[in-house]
């Protein structure tokens, strides 16, 4: 009787406990899937592929439609207008310049134009052409392609930093 | 057994009874214990702990309750329990990579999670409550999650019309149509004109058999050791459209024999004006003059040619037509001249415009092509062949049909073969068990299958008839995305009513303008009400924008408004009558409803206003950062030096108010101009006039 009872009970107990042992095995596999919505090649190093999330990819699209003409050295249509302008507009991946300014400043200068922010009037106001979501997306794109890489100087307090 | 003994229970029995009771309790406890340890319950407890550790606990837990959480959308047959674990999916404060999964919020996309569920876009198993079953392929649940890098495929399930948010999908669909995949495969919802390969009805007059041999062996492309696609030895970004077929040493000569007998259109030598020939034939620089003319006519807007600059050789030019670096060693001289004079006689569905040639231009340009765009070694390694024998021709004709050549190429006597390959309408909705991997080492999932099949069709099926395409990695991903988006009929998924069909807006005007339009193939580069190419400006509202006189001058002698562009309008040598017909049609028909030319009163545009406008242009708004006037200014917008002869006043005002209503996607930002400023700027721009540019023609007699 005794061995019989054990053969009955033991597997059942084991079966009950098993699922608890399967901790965290599956989510790892999910994380390893291709997670980039889009990619951009690093302008300084074409071997380096920068993964973009949805918002950054939206920013990339807006950038290549509206901004690339003056904030890049080559454009989809050929030469750039950048060298033509004085002062020279910064390249979009110019981290040395753009990492120093805040998101709010970038949002304002894109929305209201250069003259409203005390900069060159050659920078047009885009607030009536682009939506605020699109402008924030462009800023997200600026941050992700920045060379040297962008590190927000002031970490947002606990709200966004998890446990 | 006595009566006394019956009431007694032996020690041994007691022990057994006690043990069985315990065992029973334990067995009964299995179910609640197992239930307690369910994966999703663990995630829910973790979420509560996580929320409690954050300052916004109250908001995060406002809608929380223990238990299965699901999004149920009966009309779309959606039962998604993903939010049971992905608790923070709609919490804006949980956005960003610093939040641990599965609690991270979804990025802000046009479709809300609560309205659409998750599986509609991400695939996987909505009703599953275990991580593995929801995300991966298991025995009972076949559909795995779609990797984010292919997620645009899901947009394409409903959005048959291209949308700006899905560049990868749009590129993939464009490739499917450019490579004429529909020639062999059935693909619902693509609905765009197939790009057929050349008409081979008289290919025997066009090229030699030796050239056909070379082409069939190595169509267009060579791949160097680094995997770059080379055209005639030069690296290219464009996709070669002709794929490589696996043809053996008997099949190549048979096909070339058959093709070299196709000569239904006679190519009779063209008789040039004897005076032109006399003047040019002994001129040593005739080919150089032809090259100048070739460039002036902007043939390179559509065709690329290898150019060496600063020691580096690369292809310069467009990819609408074939690359021409060695075309002089390919085509028959008489055929070339017949083709240049009237390409539409050979290929009515082709993209080549019918230029108006003067004899001297034609002579010079053809001399240039035949003398300079050549390579004496092109056919060096091709073994000499005898004239085509009847057996070879018969085998070649048979091969032409068996290999599916007729799916892309027309010849007389062979109908277009539709549905030559498998139906791909539902390729993106297939489960792994429906795919035949053979003995290949390809990972068993749909994405790997599609990628392997396109990269090398033999890799998953050694008997595949499909030829091999050379796609660069970016285009391979794009075409895979487009195929993953083809999930067949949606009626069983309740999504059918959500389909946004692709607009097929063919624009083929009739009458005199129709003839001009078809002859010069305006729609290859320009767009008319959503139909046509995107290389050149959209002409849907050209009649509101430009003045008639300017249009005629421009058509007769196109001077680019954007001097930095590599691709410019070719010099067609249009006749005055053709230019008038085109300008009249554009003025009458292509009018924007939001520009009323009749209200533009020229009296409003006084010199004082123009002076104010000049101030605004130069100082306040610094328009010169993007526009050129005279010799200075930027390159982003068009050159405005001749705006007064070019643009209508009402258009300028309408444009300054809101550029994007007149040209969707225009680069110019919309600003808030006061009415006086609008009038002043318009008045200023209308004062900018140049005398008509001189007729082009250095080196070419008109």
Tens of pLDDT along B625-662?
999 898 888 888 888 999 999 999 999 999 999 999 89
Least Cα distance to B682 among B669, B690, B673 occurs for B673
Q: Is there a contact between B407 and B416 (Cβ–Cβ < 8 Å)?
A: yes
Q: Which of the four pLDDT bands, split at 50, 70 and 90, describes residue A32?
A: very low
CA distance A92 to A90: 6
Residue position matching structure tokens 């009513």 = B497
Determine the pLDDT at residue B35: 87
Q: Which of the four pLDDT bands, split at 50, 70 and 90, describes residue A10?
A: low
Q: Is the peptide bond before A87 cis (omega within 30 degrees of 0)?
A: yes
Residues whose CB is less than 8 angstroms from the CB of residue A153 and which lie 6 or more positions away in sequence, other chains included: none
Record: contact B108-A133, CB cut-off 8 A: yes
Strand A49-52 versus strand B234-235 pairing type: unpaired
CA distance B371 to B305: 14
Helix (H) or strand (E) holding B171: helix B167-178
Taking each continuous run of H as one helix and of E as one strand, the counts in chain A are: 7, 4
Decide which of B606 and B190 is more confident. B606
CA distance B202 to B328: 18
Strand B527-528 versus strand B531-532 pairing type: antiparallel
SS3 B147: coil
CA B21 to chain centre: 72
What chain B residue is nearest to A1 in terms of C-alpha separation? B16
Q: pTM above the 0.95 mark? A: no
Q: Which of the four pLDDT bands, split at 50, 70 and 90, describes residue B95?
A: confident
Determine the pLDDT at residue B193: 57
Determine the pLDDT at residue A136: 94
Determine the pLDDT at residue A152: 75
Helix (H) or strand (E) holding B304: strand B304-309
Count the Cβ atoms, other than its own, within 10 Å of residue B423: 12
Average pLDDT over residues A125-133: 92
Give B95: exposed, middle or buried? Use CB within 10 Å, 0-12, 13-18, 19+: middle
Determine the pLDDT at residue B234: 64
Average pLDDT over residues B109-114: 88
Average pLDDT over residues A22-38: 49
Q: Which of the four pLDDT bands, split at 50, 70 and 90, describes residue B325?
A: confident
Record: contact A77-B565, CB cut-off 8 A: yes
Determine the pLDDT at residue B696: 42
Average pLDDT over residues B131-136: 86
| Tokens, residue B427 | 């390729």
Check whether B514 has a pLDDT greater than 60: yes
Check whether A22 has a pLDDT greater than 60: no
Q: Is there a contact between A81 and B626 (Cβ–Cβ < 8 Å)?
A: yes
Percentages helix, strand, coil for chain B (3-state, rounded to 5) are 45, 5, 50
Report long-range pairs for B597-606 (Cβ below 8 Å, ≥24 apart): B597/B544, B597/B648, B597/B650, B597/B651, B599/B650, B600/B648, B600/B649, B600/B650, B600/B653, B602/B649, B604/B679, B604/B683, B605/B649, B605/B679, B605/B682, B605/B683, B605/B686, B606/B683
Determine the pLDDT at residue B601: 74
Determine the pLDDT at residue A134: 93
Helix (H) or strand (E) holding B576: helix B576-589
CA distance B658 to B83: 43
Interface with B, mutate which of A77, A115, A119, A161 (most B CBs under 10 A): A77
What percentage of residues in chain B have a pLDDT greater than 70? Answer: 92
Q: Is there a contact between B701 and A160 (Cβ–Cβ < 8 Å)?
A: no
Check whether B507 has a pLDDT greater than 90: no
Check whether B219 has a pLDDT greater than 90: no
Chain B neighbors of A14, CB-CB under 8 A: none
Interface contact B29, partner A, CB < 8 A: yes
ipTM of this predicted structure: 0.81
Q: Which of the four pLDDT bands, split at 50, 70 and 90, describes residue A160?
A: very low
Count the Cβ atoms, other than its own, within 10 Å of residue B390: 9
Determine the pLDDT at residue B651: 93
Q: Which of B64-68, B237-241, B539-543 has the lowest mean pLDDT?
A: B237-241
Helix (H) or strand (E) holding A79: strand A78-79
Domains of chain A: 2-31 (no CATH), 38-153 (1.10.760.10)
Record: contact B168-A2, CB cut-off 8 A: no
Q: Which of the four pLDDT bands, split at 50, 70 and 90, describes residue B225?
A: low
Chain B neighbors of A64, CB-CB under 8 A: none
Measure in Å the smallest separation between the Cα of B97 and chain A Cα atoms.
9
3-state secondary structure A37-66: CEEEECCCCCCCEEEECHHHHHHHHHHHHH
Phi/psi-derived region of residue A153, left when phi > 0, alpha when psi is between -120 and 50, beta in every other case = alpha
Interface contact A41, partner B, CB < 8 A: no
Decide which of B701 and A102 is more confident. A102
Q: Is there a contact between B151 and B480 (Cβ–Cβ < 8 Å)?
A: no
Record: contact A34-B147, CB cut-off 8 A: yes
Helix (H) or strand (E) holding B316: strand B312-317
Interface contact B56, partner A, CB < 8 A: yes
Determine the pLDDT at residue B384: 78
Count the Cβ atoms, other than its own, within 10 Å of residue B26: 16
pLDDT digits (tens, 9 = 90+) for A102-112: 999 999 999 99
CA distance B74 to B132: 25
Q: Which of the four pLDDT bands, split at 50, 70 and 90, describes residue A26?
A: very low
Q: Which of the four pLDDT bands, split at 50, 70 and 90, describes residue B98?
A: confident
Determine the pLDDT at residue A31: 37
Check whether A28 has a pLDDT greater than 50: no
Strand B221-223 versus strand B229-231 pairing type: antiparallel
CA distance B20 to A9: 10
Check whether A30 has a pLDDT greater than 50: no
The string of DSSP codes covering B480-510 is HHHHHT-----GGGT-GGG-BPPP-------
Check whether B154 has a pLDDT greater than 80: yes
Residue position matching structure tokens 């009966």 = B74
Interface contact B526, partner A, CB < 8 A: no
Measure in Å the smallest separation between the Cα of A156 and chain B Cα atoms.
11
Determine the pLDDT at residue B230: 66
Q: Is there a contact between A55 and B107 (Cβ–Cβ < 8 Å)?
A: yes
| Tokens, residue B236 | 């290219």
Average pLDDT over residues A120-143: 93
Check whether A21 has a pLDDT greater than 50: no
Size of interface A-B (CB pairs under 8 A): 149
Q: Is there a contact between B378 and B388 (Cβ–Cβ < 8 Å)?
A: no
Determine the pLDDT at residue B220: 64
CA distance B183 to B189: 14
Q: Which of the four pLDDT bands, split at 50, 70 and 90, describes residue A162?
A: very low
Determine the pLDDT at residue A131: 92
Q: Is there a contact between B516 and B620 (Cβ–Cβ < 8 Å)?
A: no
């Amino acid at each position: 009787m005794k061995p019989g009872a054990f053969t009955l009970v033991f597997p059942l107990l084991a079966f009950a406990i098993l699922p608890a042992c399967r901790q965290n095995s599956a989510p790892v596999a999910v994380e390893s899937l291709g997670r980039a919505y889009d990619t951009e090649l690093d302008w300084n190093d074409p071997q380096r592929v920068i993964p973009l999330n949805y918002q950054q990819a939206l920013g990339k699209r807006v950038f290549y439609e509206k901004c690339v003409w003056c904030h890049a050295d080559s454009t989809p249509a050929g030469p750039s207008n950048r060298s033509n302008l004085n002062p020279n507009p910064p390249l979009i991946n110019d981290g040395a310049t753009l990492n120093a300014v805040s998101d709010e400043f970038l949002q304002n200068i894109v929305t209201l134009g250069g003259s409203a922010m005390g900069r060159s009037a050659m920078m047009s106001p885009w607030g009536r052409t682009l939506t605020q979501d699109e402008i924030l997306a462009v800023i997200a794109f600026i941050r992700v392609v920045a060379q040297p890489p962008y590190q927000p100087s002031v970490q947002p307090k606990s709200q966004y930093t998890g446990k | 057994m006595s009566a006394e003994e019956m009431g007694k229970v032996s020690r041994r029995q007691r022990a057994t009874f006690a043990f069985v009771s315990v065992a029973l309790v334990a067995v009964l406890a299995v179910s609640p214990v197992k239930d307690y340890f369910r994966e999703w319950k663990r995630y829910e407890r973790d979420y509560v702990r996580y929320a409690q550790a954050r300052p916004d606990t109250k908001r995060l837990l406002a809608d929380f309750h223990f238990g299965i959480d699901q999004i149920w959308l009966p009309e779309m047959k959606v039962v998604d329990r993903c939010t049971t674990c992905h608790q923070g999916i709609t919490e804006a404060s949980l956005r960003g990579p610093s939040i641990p999964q599965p609690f991270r919020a979804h990025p802000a996309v046009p479709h809300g999670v609560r309205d659409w569920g998750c599986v509609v876009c991400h695939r996987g198993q909505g009703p599953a409550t275990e991580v593995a079953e929801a995300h991966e392929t298991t025995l009972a649940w076949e559909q795995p999650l779609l990797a984010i890098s292919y997620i645009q495929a899901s947009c394409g399930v409903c959005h048959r019309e291209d949308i700006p948010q899905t560049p990868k999908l749009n590129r993939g669909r464009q490739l499917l149509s450019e490579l004429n995949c529909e020639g062999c495969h059935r693909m619902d919802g693509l609905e765009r004109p197939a790009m057929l390969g050349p008409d081979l009805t008289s290919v025997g007059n066009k090229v030699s058999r030796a050239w056909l041999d070379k082409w069939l062996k190595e169509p267009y492309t060579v791949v160097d050791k680094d995997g770059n696609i080379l055209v005639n030895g030069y690296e290219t970004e464009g996709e070669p459209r002709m794929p490589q077929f696996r043809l053996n040493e008997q099949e190549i000569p048979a096909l070339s024999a058959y093709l070299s007998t196709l000569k239904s259109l006679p190519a009779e030598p063209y008789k040039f004006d004897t005076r032109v020939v006399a003047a040019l034939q002994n001129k040593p620089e005739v080919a150089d003059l032809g090259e100048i003319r070739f460039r002036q006519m902007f043939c390179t807007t559509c065709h690329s040619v290898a150019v060496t600059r600063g020691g580096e050789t690369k292809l310069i030019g467009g990819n609408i037509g074939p690359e021409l670096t060695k075309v002089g060693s390919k085509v028959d001289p008489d055929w070339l001249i017949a083709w240049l004079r009237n390409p539409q006689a050979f290929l009515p569905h082709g993209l080549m415009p019918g230029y108006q040639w003067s004899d001297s231009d034609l002579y010079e340009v053809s001399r240039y092509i035949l003398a300079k765009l050549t390579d004496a070694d092109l056919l060096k390694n091709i073994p000499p062949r005898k004239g085509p024998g009847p057996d070879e021709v018969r085998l070649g004709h048979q091969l032409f049909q068996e290999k599916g050549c007729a799916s892309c190429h027309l010849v007389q006597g062979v109908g277009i073969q539709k549905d030559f390959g498998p139906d791909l309408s539902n390729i993106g909705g297939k489960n792994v068990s429906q795919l035949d991997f053979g003995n290949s080492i390809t990972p068993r999932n749909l994405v790997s299958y599609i990628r392997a099949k396109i990269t090398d069709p033999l890799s998953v099926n050694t008997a595949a008839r499909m030829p091999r395409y050379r796609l660069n990695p970016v285009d391979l991903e794009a075409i895979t995305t487009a195929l993953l988006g083809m999930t067949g009929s949606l009626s069983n998924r309740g999504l059918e009513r959500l389909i946004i069909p692709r607009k097929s807006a063919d624009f083929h005007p009739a009458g005199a303008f129709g003839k001009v339009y078809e002859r010069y193939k305006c729609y290859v580069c320009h767009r008319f009400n959503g139909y046509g190419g995107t290389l050149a400006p959209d002409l849907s509202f050209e009649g509101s924008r430009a003045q008639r006189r300017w249009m005629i001058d421009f058509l007769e002698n196109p001077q680019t408004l954007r001097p930095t562009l590599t691709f410019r309008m070719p010099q067609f040598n249009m006749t005055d009558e053709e230019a008038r017909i085109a300008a009249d049609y554009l003025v009458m028909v292509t009018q924007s409803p939001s520009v009323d030319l009749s209200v533009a009163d020229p009296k409003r545009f006084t010199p004082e206003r123009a002076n104010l406008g000049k101030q605004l242009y130069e100082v306040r708004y610094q328009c010169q950062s993007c526009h050129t006037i005279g010799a200075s200014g930027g390159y982003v917008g068009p050159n405005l030096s001749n705006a007064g002869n070019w643009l209508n006043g009402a258009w300028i005002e309408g444009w300054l108010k809101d550029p994007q209503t007149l040209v969707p996607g225009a680069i110019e930002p919309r600003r808030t101009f006061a009415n006086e400023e609008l009038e002043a700027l318009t008045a200023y721009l209308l004062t900018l006039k140049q005398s008509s540019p001189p007729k082009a023609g250095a080196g070419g007699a008109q």
